[in-house]
Amino acid sequence: MIRARRARIVATLGPASRAPGTVKALAQAGVDVFRLNFSHGSHDDHAAALKAVRGAEMALQRPLGVLADLQGPKLRLGRFKDVEIDIKPGHKMRFDLDPTPGDETRVQMPHPEIFKALRTGNLLLLDDGRVRLRVGERSDEWADVTVESGHKLSDRKGVAVPEAVIPVSALTPKDREDLAFALRIGVDWVALSFVQKAEDMAELKRLVGGKAACLAKIEKPQALADLGAILDYCDGVMVARGDLGVEMDPEEVPVAQKAIIRAARQRGVPVIVATQMLESMTSSPAPTRAEASDVANAVYEGADALMLSAETASGDYPLEAVGIMNRIMERVEKDPTWPSLMDAEHAGMDDFDADALVAAARKAAEAQSTACIVIFTTLGGTARRMSRERPLQPMLALTPKAETARRLALVWGLEPRLGKEPTSLEDVTDNAVNSAVEFGLAQPGQRVLILAGTPFGAPGAANLLRLAHAPSKPAKRSAK
């Protein structure tokens, strides 16, 4: 179960895929992390899905991550007397707080926080951008709007305000309940939706308390303006192109995607590219050529992982979608130009000692005689630093903690596995070379590059770089 690619696959579980047999088949086909979408399904559904992932993990002897994706605040219009109204450009109406069912002249928008944030001239987007409105006169309780585009408007359509920061917590009461449940059942990652500012992630980190890794979904333009500060609070980040595409012009989304990936790579923060990667495969056994190119481009950009949503959650061809994504990734990484793209950008040195050692490890690994890199890590920091350098040699991350191995399943190029905590330099060397041979990453006699930290067993930055050669007859590796 060693992957033949460095980029990782995240797949959403749902009615089409959460059965134990399907989960195992998806992992065999290439899934590294499974997403539980808390916008849909019950707590019982998600608990059963996580149990199926743990079963697949045991059967395949490969760590598999589980990502809990919180729904986030949903801003919506109220209801209409006739469910739907006809509109056209130039149509004027009022939004207010009155819960009385609306008509062509007015309708409720039950979010006083939006009215307080709006300014004359602001753009409002409804129904995933299908209706565009411009704000005229306003107060803290109402706003007059003029339709710029759109023909129909119906009950409970979503509202987006791309030109204002809405003073609302990214964690709703539902999210807090879902978060407590997700931590209780033991998820590895938690994703926060509709992040606007660094304080949103700081609140999530405080509530999670280290029980899971925290990931920011970048799907609002306001988050791009505060991206650096947001990344400082992130263990991971997602380019959520669906909602981002609602609030930004289409030509801006690819530029934003590249900017987010570049910023995340500079910090060594794992980055996922998500939404509509292989959307047509929800109902078709093959993707469009444009979708195949979209997947390939994200791999060329150096994204840690790509995510499938409806394709695996509710689609007709979940296994085929994973299989084709896996094939595209493998093909890109065989392209002779791909290594130069991975080597084109390296992060600066934040922590001189640790970063200097990791940079030296990358240079040492470039020797053709180096078969693989073995990284000993307790909490995953050393392994993530090494991944940030994008070495082309296979990387085996050995850790005594199951939760660390599962979190690292999301990270570019890493093959995380459980391993006994080393107690001496000799133990480090023996474990590294024997594990490299056992997992097929090195042949007897080949050189193995070892990265570790002392004192052994104490979380902290790497301070040990060692070269060793795989033995001709490796001893049986002991796992914890």
State the 10-residue block means of pLDDT for the chain, 480 residues long. Answer: 95 97 98 97 98 98 97 92 94 97 96 95 93 96 96 92 88 96 98 94 97 96 93 96 89 95 94 97 97 98 97 98 98 96 74 79 86 94 93 95 98 96 90 94 93 77 86 57
Same domain, 106 and 35: no
Same domain, 127 and 272: no
The domain spanning residue 352 has which CATH number?
A: 3.40.1380.20
Can you read off the two tokens belonging to residue 388? Answer: 């940030």
Residue 448 CA, distance from chain mean position: 31
- Residue 408 inside a domain? The answer is yes
Same domain, 124 and 24: no
- Catalytic residue list contains 399: no
Q: Which residues form the domain of 259?
A: 8-72+169-335
- Catalytic residue list contains 74: no
**Whole-number Cα distances in Å, 193 to 70, 175, 196:** 6, 10, 9
- Residue 77 inside a domain? The answer is no
Name the CA dihedral angle for 31, 37, 40, 41, rounded to a multiple of 10 degrees.
Answer: 70
- Residue 95 inside a domain? The answer is yes
Same domain, 391 and 305: no
Tell me which of 160, 177, 211 is where a domain ends: 160
Which one from 76, 132, 205, 327 is the annotated catalytic residue?
A: 76
d(CA 261, CA 120): 34
Which one from 6, 8, 35, 385 is the annotated catalytic residue?
A: 35
Which one from 6, 138, 267, 275 is the annotated catalytic residue?
A: 275
- Catalytic residue list contains 275: yes
Tell me which of 160, 187, 222 is where a domain ends: 160
* Residue written as token pair 């009215």: 115
Tell me which of 285, 315, 335 is where a domain ends: 335
Structural domains counted in the chain: 3
d(CA 444, CA 99): 74
Find, among 279, 305, 219, the residue nearest to 33 by Cα.
Answer: 305
Find, among 242, 236, 241, 245, the residue nearest to 263 by Cα.
Answer: 236
The domain spanning residue 88 has which CATH number?
A: 2.40.33.10
- Residue 476 inside a domain? The answer is no
| CB contact burial 2-14 (16+ within 10 A = b; e otherwise) | ebebbbbbbbbbb
* Residue written as token pair 């959650």: 313
d(CA 272, CA 189): 12
Same domain, 216 and 311: yes
- Catalytic residue list contains 76: yes
pLDDT at 421: 86
Instruction: List, in sequence order, the alpha helices (H) in 75-170.
Output: 112-117
The domain spanning residue 22 has which CATH number?
A: 3.20.20.60
pLDDT at 444: 87
pTM recorded for the entire structure? 0.92
Q: Which amino acid is at 15?
A: P
- Residue 89 inside a domain? The answer is yes
- Residue 479 inside a domain? The answer is no
Which one from 8, 157, 217, 447 is the annotated catalytic residue?
A: 217
Same domain, 392 and 457: yes
- Residue 78 inside a domain? The answer is no
Q: Which amino acid is at 382?
A: T
Same domain, 145 and 208: no
